[in-house]
Amino acid sequence: MLRYGIMGTNWLSHIYFDAIHAAGDQVAAVCSRSLERARELGGDGTLAYDDLDEMLKNPDIDVVYLCIPNVLHADAAIRCLKAGKHVLCEKPAARVYSEALE
């Protein structure tokens, strides 16, 4: 079983939240700029964060799904990878070649 952290709480996050559970995996945490929205998506039993770096400290997260605006993908993906997390990122992972190299 994979344990996910979801970054972002838009409409697509809700679809992935349900899909993760349907696949037999777990959403361990949700992170949003709004702690209230993170709690709404996660519900009971799912940790809520309003800071990505704090969520990345959680050893119970294997994969972070980035459901945030494209312009934020590279920075968040790099932070996740440096924290030892796998990353599921919608396209594009980076806006420019130099971001992709990093």
Instruction: Give the active site residues.
Output: 91
User: What contacts 39, CB < 8 A, 6 or more positions away?
Assistant: 30, 48
